[in-house]
Chain A
Amino acid sequence: MLQSRFVRETMTSIEEWIKQLRILDPKRVRVYEAFVDTVNMEINGKIYCNVKPRRPFPYTHPEYIIFFAEDDTELGILTDYRKLDRMSRKRLERVLKIIYYIPQIKRIIKLDTTKSRYEWEIETDKGVVVIKTWSRCTRWLPNGKLLIYDVDGNVYIVEDISKLDPKSRAYLDIVA
């Protein structure tokens, strides 16, 4: 049912709505303890346990974090978690690294194009791995980064193509 005639008198602009967002001051946020995928933390002097940090823009703005309470209530938004104190940042990053397990490709050692799949041997920041992808497996992000999805839906990222060696770039030319 649409809004009644009384409450829709004035147009709500996006600016007014933005005011309702709970943007957090990094100086008033502290992460005390990090578990596998949750943290215990203090926000504006109040302690919260088993908080779930989430990135709304995991590839384009990984610094942007939204914190959710155990019951999925939104606790607030941190526009740049890197502004947290050193220890809080370190603890939070540990959790984020498991929630966003996105190996960074450093080198492409081998690329076989057999059948309708590609088989890659890649060196990542998390070690050397052999992955299989479909022929259409890449996605360019607006910030110039390249994502590669394997057949199982795992994601790998190339942060800066120009920093790859010529052989890896030549391999990427085949698929991207």
Chain B
Amino acid sequence: MIKIGDEESSIEYFPSTEELPAVISNILEENEEVVASIKSDISDLKYGEDTLVLTNKRVLVVRDNNIIRNISLKEIESVEVNRYVGSLVLKAKTESGIKSLISYTRTRAKYFEKIIMLINDLTLNQIPYYIVRKHLKEQVEEINRKNSKRKILARMISFAKPFWHLMVATLALMMFSTIIGLLPPYLMKILIDQVLVPQKNFHLLMYIVLGLLSINLTLTILGVINGYLSLKLNQSLTYRIRKILFEKLQRLSLAFYDKYSTGSLISRIVDDVNRVQTFLTQSLGLIIIDITTIAFIGVILFSLSSWLSLIALIPIPVSYIGTTIYRKFSRRYYHRLWRKWSYVITVLTENITSNIVVKTFGKEKDMFKKFTRSLTEFIGMNFSVFKFEQKFWPAIGFSFTISSLLIWWIGGLKVLSGELSLGSLTAFTSYMWRFYQPINRLVNNLRVLQRATISGERIFEIIDADLEVKDEDDAQDFEFKGHIEYKKVWFTYDGIYYALRNVNLKVKPGEHIGIVGPSGSGKSTLVKLLLRLYEPQRGDILIDGVKINKIKLEAIKRQVAIVMQNPRLFSASIAENISLGKENVTLEEIITAAKAAKAHDFIMKLPEAYDTHVGLNGSRLSGGEKQRIAIAAAILKNPKILILDEPTSALDAITEEEVTEAIDNLTRGRTTFIIAHRLSTLRNVDKIIVMDRGGIVEEGTHEELMKKDGLYKKLYESQFKGFLKQQKKVEEIVAK
């Protein structure tokens, strides 16, 4: 059976012959090495497994131990993917045409991306095999090192290194409390055997009662101290891990954020950190203590009575098996319960958020029925969960009762026959319950360990992520003049599609460049590379003749500004958002920047003016207002290079006019890139570049481009079709 999304069937680097289809080892030539192999989840139009094997000489595809494709790397120009509904087909471009290699579902796409990059490195990019091999070997070793479970556990524990004294102290206190906690049953045995049964030894009675009192007092005090130390350890540890993660997240490039969803990253910082922290501060100590306690009490029980000890062990396998089965099935029940509850919430949310639709279509009764039905289903599921639980817990509980009754029966007989003292029997039963407790807890904590290891892996995935964009050792910081050059720049986000293909562009200081082209033509990618949000795979970008990767990131951030279509504001006041552009800003500078950005008038009309809180991501402001605040921040930043990414496309005509005026103030004298869909906004730029499928296809002024019968003219005419028709009619009337 094929498991969709099975992690174990991801790409294998340098697999052993046992891991490969048998046919492969028979055909490998001398000096031929298997670099990687990957299994698909579609074979012959059905779910099934084909295997793609990449060697240093060729690409092979194996189905049912038969080779169905065998193409030399020398023949392959590049590989690419065709994406369809529910499936993808990997194809090789060769001199003799395009050949399909293997098909797979979207679930496997992420694993195939790696092998595609690998094949393209060896073919399209012509990287020598020994370099690819060296890099790959290093990567594999690094992955193995990071993924070793033991290493992960050790690395998780290393988080607590600065707080080792707190960990030792809490562990010592817990251990001490456990040992003291074991004393009362033994004192009870002495009390029964030496005081109550013989009815003598008043002084001993007094000592025992005082002893029990002191034990309780000590345990209470130790509990309070331990609680404080544990809290301190918890908070320090959580603070440290979250700080490390947050610092790393801030340094990672946008390429990293493209791979992970916001929810996934937040869940790592919140939930996974909590799990690791719970394990390190609670479960780890409890595992050590429980193992010690079990051994300790085990010895006491066997020393009191070996027969009774054997009976006491009976419920343990019953409980273990029962709990394991319960966990397996309970997950399904609780998942169903969660689904039912989630449905109740969905219906409720739908009813509230789409209330206007419900009311205007007169669907109140239907929604009411839907809601009550969802509630009834949820209640029904609660009863099902109850019924299910009753199949397990009473039975497990009963096994403990049987064992305890057996102990009382056999123990009682032994007491009657004089083989065992009454005190020993009482002490035995008391210790017996203290024996079960750590066993149950140990089983639970081992699961916590399992979950914490998974969480640890997810945390280290962020911590170990490569900083794709970082300062080189010899990176320089200088004041930009604004001369920009793109030299044979190639860039791909996923290793499959090139968003930029061989881009060459020269921009003079202060020049205004308009960038146009259909959606997905690479306009935004072109400017994102200038901001060093990503690194190009090939080619160079130069600012004032210096390669961008030799310029300090800080210098770029300081002197290049971007104003986006939907600017993001911080949840702070308008003044604070404008001040983002400059440190130690004066009130006059804030007002001036807002005036230049045509924002001052609307800000002063707000009752709280510049102190107005903009809400989460500027939710209390309109699109045009947010845009003008972002422009004010950019004006304050005083950048040498400016990027405007469709700054007016989301605005109405009146607001657009105001924002355009603000933009005029901002762009004056600065090297400016303006990405625009509305070609009317670009009539006065110095040069327009037209992009299509990742490349620059046309270049020139509006007039020059209109004379050519190219893409720009088509785009222009499609936008002004109606207007041009009318103009033609007017011209005709005038001519008549």
Contacts and interface: CB of A to CB of B under 8 A. Distances in A.
A47 B369 CA distance: 70
A12 B665 contact: yes
Given A5-B686, A56-B591, A17 B609 contact: no
B680 to A, nearest CB: 7
B609 A55 contact: yes
The 6 A-B pairs of least Cβ separation, nearest first, read A11-B669, A3-B664, A8-B668, A17-B592, A59-B611, A56-B609
A23 interface: yes
Contacts of A54: 604, 609
Interface stretch (A34-42, A60-68, A119-127, A166-174): A60-68
Interface string A1-38: 11111011111111001101101000000000000000
A8 B638 CA distance: 15
Contact of A5 (B573, B587, B636, B684): B684
Contacts of B667: 2-3, 8
13 contacts: A3-B664, A3-B668, A8-B669, A10-B668, A14-B592, A14-B593, A21-B595, A23-B588, A56-B587, A56-B609, A57-B609, A60-B575, A79-B588
A142 interface: yes
Contacts of B596: 12, 14, 17
A77 to B, nearest CB: 7
A79 B591 CA distance: 12
A144 interface: no
Contacts of A59: 608, 611
A97 interface: no
Given A3-B684, A17-B592, A23-B588, A139 B669 contact: no
Contacts of A8: 510, 512, 664, 667-669
Given A11-B669, A12-B665, A1 B592 contact: no
A139 B613 contact: yes
Contacts of B680: 1
Contacts of B686: 5
A1 B660 contact: yes
Contacts of A58: 608-609, 611
Given A1-B683, A23-B588, A54-B604, 14 more contacts: A2-B512, A2-B664, A2-B681, A3-B664, A5-B512, A5-B684, A8-B667, A9-B510, A12-B596, A18-B589, A56-B610, A57-B587, A68-B604, A142-B576
A56 to B, nearest CB: 5
Interface in B660-679: 660, 663-665, 667-670, 674
Contacts of B595: 17, 20-21
A7 B667 CA distance: 11
A98 B635 CA distance: 35
Given A1-B660, A7-B668, A11-B669, A61 B592 contact: no
Contacts of B484: none
B684 A21 contact: no
Interface in B552-593: 573, 575-576, 587-589, 591-593
Nearest to A61: B587
A77 B591 contact: yes
Interface string A129-145: 00000000001011000
Interface of B: 510, 512, 573, 575-576, 587-589, 591-593, 595-596, 603-604, 608-611, 613, 635-636, 638, 660, 663-665, 667-670, 674, 680-686
A68 B609 CA distance: 14
- Interface-centre pick from A2, A17, A18, A141 (highest chain B CB count, 10 A): A2
A51 to B, nearest CB: 14
A2 B510 CA distance: 14
Contact of B592 (A2, A18, A79): A18
Contacts of A141: 611
A141 B512 CA distance: 40
Contact of A2 (B603, B609, B613, B685): B685
Contacts of A60: 573, 575, 611
Nearest to B636: A14
Contact of B670 (A11, A20, A23, A155): A11
Nearest to A99: B607
Given A9-B510, A58-B611, A139-B613, A2 B660 contact: yes
B561 to A, nearest CB: 13
B587 A79 contact: yes
Contacts of A13: 638
Given A2-B684, A56-B604, A12 B669 contact: yes
B697 to A, nearest CB: 23
Interface string A84-98: 000000000000000
A112 B660 CA distance: 51
Contacts of B674: 2
B486 to A, nearest CB: 22
Contacts of B660: 1-2
A55 B604 CA distance: 8
B419 to A, nearest CB: 64
Nearest to B593: A14
Contacts of A155: 608
A97 to B, nearest CB: 15
- Interface-centre pick from B573, B660, B686 (highest chain A CB count, 10 A): B573
A139 B573 CA distance: 10
Nearest to B668: A8
A64 B595 CA distance: 17
A66 B605 CA distance: 12
A1 B514 CA distance: 12
B669 A57 contact: no
B672 to A, nearest CB: 9
Contact of A1 (B587, B610, B681): B681
Contacts of B685: 2
Nearest to A12: B668
Contacts of B608: 58-59, 155
A18 B669 contact: no
- Interface-centre pick from A3, A141, A155 (highest chain B CB count, 10 A): A3
Nearest to B670: A11
Nearest to A54: B604
Given A2-B664, A5-B686, A13-B638, A21 B592 contact: yes
A66 B595 CA distance: 13
B396 to A, nearest CB: 42
A21 B663 contact: no
A11 B668 contact: yes
Contacts of A55: 609
